[in-house]
Structure 1
Amino acid sequence: MDLRKLKTLIDLVSESNISELEITEAEGKVRIVKGGVAVAAAMVAAPAAAPTAAPAAPAPVAAAPAAEPVVAEPAGKVIKSPMVGTFYRSASPGAKAFVDVGSTVKPGEPICIIEAMKIMNEIEADVGGKIVQILCENGQAVEFGQPMFIVE
């Protein structure tokens, strides 16, 4: 399936009342699920003829594991990323940041934007309080569940 067709399907799902679309074609299967804020898409390629696999090399024996550093759990409530994407502190380059350290937020108030698949998703605070730490840099890639803000 070509990217233009995939983008058209994503746009149709995001603009319609349907919450999920699954299409199976000769070259693969596409499932698009519309969530509360984001549109997720997954493409699974059709199985091809399996090439003969070379025997795997034996895994190297690791030395004794080093002691892992103890990371203190941050005090306060953590606001985590609800999706994978690019973190932005403001609505546009040069604009004022949604929140800064010391800002007071209420639940439902916008705190950042995460760009995913060329869609700008406004992320709202799920807890209220004072922002004590911002854990992500502007333009940084974030993962699902990654801590972004600490709120007291």
Structure 2
Amino acid sequence: MDLRKLKTLIDLVSESNISELEITEAEGKVRIVKAAAPAAPVYAPAPAPLHAVGAPPSAANGAAVAPAAAPEPAGKVIKSPMVGTFYRAASPGAKAFAELGDTVKTGQPVCIIEAMKIMNEIEADCDGKVLQILCENGQAVEFGQPLFIVE
């Protein structure tokens, strides 16, 4: 295909409302896809922190006692390597990759995170038993967000 003809086709696609054009001729096949404008990411709002009503408890000497920090989860945490949508199974009716109590091996898929219409299998980075599943099916997840706790 002539370079001038190709340039004209690219200009026509960029100036029109179409997002894709494919032309097949004797010399070959050309497919032009217009890059979509990046959509604003959709994030789930963070839950509001819980606050106790009233004054903090006092020690015998009158000093305020600091609230106890949440205990660290026992076990290895499998974290999200990307921003996307968490899915426990490959399709809506399929069996989940990992259930509570299942034993997983390093490299075994434990979930899928959909990012930019691409389904990315997330693999266990350690051997162990699934103690907790920290995300709901279809939930938006952030980079580094804990997904599973493995013993």
Per the TM superposition, whether the score is higher than 0.5 is yes
**Residue 92 of structure 2 is aligned to residue 83 of structure 1:** no
CA offsets per residue over residues 43-68 of structure 1, 9 Å max, x none? xxxxxxxxxxxxxxxxxxxxxxx977
Say if 1:70 and 1:91 are closer, same or farther in 2 by CA, change over 3 A: same
* CA drift at 1:101: 0.4
CA offsets per residue over residues 116-135 of structure 1, 9 Å max, x none? 00100011111110000000
Gaps of 5+ in 2: 1-13, 20-33, 39-55, 57-65
Sequence identity, in percent?
73
Say if 1:133 and 1:104 are closer, same or farther in 2 by CA, change over 3 A: same
Q: Counting strand residues as a fraction of each chain, which structure ranks higher?
A: 1
**Residue 85 of structure 2 is aligned to residue 70 of structure 1:** no
Say if 1:150 and 1:108 are closer, same or farther in 2 by CA, change over 3 A: same
Query: How big is the alpha-carbon RMSD for the aligned residues of Structure 1 and Structure 2?
Result: 2.7
Larger Rg: 2
- How do residues 16-95 of structure 1 correspond to structure 2 at under 5 angstroms? 70-95=69-94
> Separation in 2 of the partners of 1:90 and 1:71?
30
* CA drift at 1:6: 2.5
**What residue is the counterpart of 2:35 in the other structure?**
6
The runs of at least 4 aligned residues of structure 1 exceeding 2 Å deviation read 1-7, 66-69
Task: Give TM-score, length-normalised by structure 1.
Answer: 0.57
Q: How many residues align?
A: 97
Say if 1:116 and 1:70 are closer, same or farther in 2 by CA, change over 3 A: same
**Residue 129 of structure 2 is aligned to residue 130 of structure 1:** yes
* CA drift at 1:94: 1.0
Residue 102 of structure 2 aligns to which amino acid in structure 1? S
Q: What SS is found at the alignment partner of 1:127?
A: coil
